[in-house]
Structure 1
Amino acid sequence: MAAQGKAMLALGRLKVGQMNKTEAAYAERLRQLEAAGEIQWHKFEGIKLRLADGMFYTPDFAVLAADGVMELHEVKGFWMDDARVKIKMAAALYPMRFIAVRVKPKRDGGGWAVEEF
């Protein structure tokens, strides 16, 4: 049982290669973009980047944009500090587009909020 006034957070994440509900919804969005020709390709957990000795970052989706630029998309319900640090480190080290997306509440129009690094 959670301590009073504190939210419970799940530790770790799902098995490698298994999407949560938000990632699955975004995968559907990527399938739509691919069918429309707005992106060329995408793969869930398709790339693993070395940030430092013993430190790696696996973005949720590798996406090949229509213009041929490789993008790495991170899907978030909310940010934990270490995740934001890792995506910023990766963006500084690798010549790719790094994009974070999160679901916008329906009261705010729905869709996806996008942040580039």
Structure 2
Amino acid sequence: MSAKSKPRNMLAMGRLKSGQRNKTEAAYELHLKAGLAAGEILWFEFEGLKFRLADNTFYTPDFAVMQASGEIELHEVKGFWQDDARVKIKVAASKFPFRFIAVRPRAKKHGGGWEQEVFE
């Protein structure tokens, strides 16, 4: 099957350029802004930190977040996991003294909001 004849849902989406948010990340940023306004968090930055995991292997969490307590968390926003992403967040959590949290949108029929998976 040639690339031109592949169904649209089978084409590779590719990654966005550094600093660009996908729709899920943009929605999560609105959630963080609400937390900032409510005083639940003090600061956040999109792609604010980059971690070296090994030679030529890096991990950049989607959001660095400072909680009202002063604790720094690293939030990874996922609609679905690609193979290397789960491995990278697990390695980062084992190497660095931060809480790494993967968040994904919860379906509206299940109450909406965000589900969390903590890696420590």
> Which bin holds the TM-score, normalised by the shorter protein?
over 0.9
Q: Which of 10, 13, 23 does residue 10 from structure 1 map onto? A: 13
Unaligned runs of 5+ in 1: none
1:93 corresponding residue in structure 2 = 95
The answer for the alignment partner of 1:57 in structure 2 is 59
Equivalences for 1:72-83 in 2 at 5 Å?
A: 72-83=74-85
Unaligned runs of 5+ in 2: none
SS in structure 2 at match of 1:74: strand
The residue identity in structure 1 corresponding to 2:12 is L
Counting matched residue pairs gives 115
AA partner of residue 33 (structure 2) = R
- Sequence identity (%): 61
Structure 2 distance, partners of 1:9, 1:102, is 21
Match status 1:23 vs 2:18: no
Tell me the CA shift for residue 72 of structure 1: 0.3
TM-score (norm 1): 0.92
Aligned residue identity for 1:93? K
Distance in 2, Cα, partners of 1:77 & 1:104: 10
Could you tell me the TM-score, scaled by structure 2's length? 0.90
Structure with the higher fraction of residues in helix conformation = 2
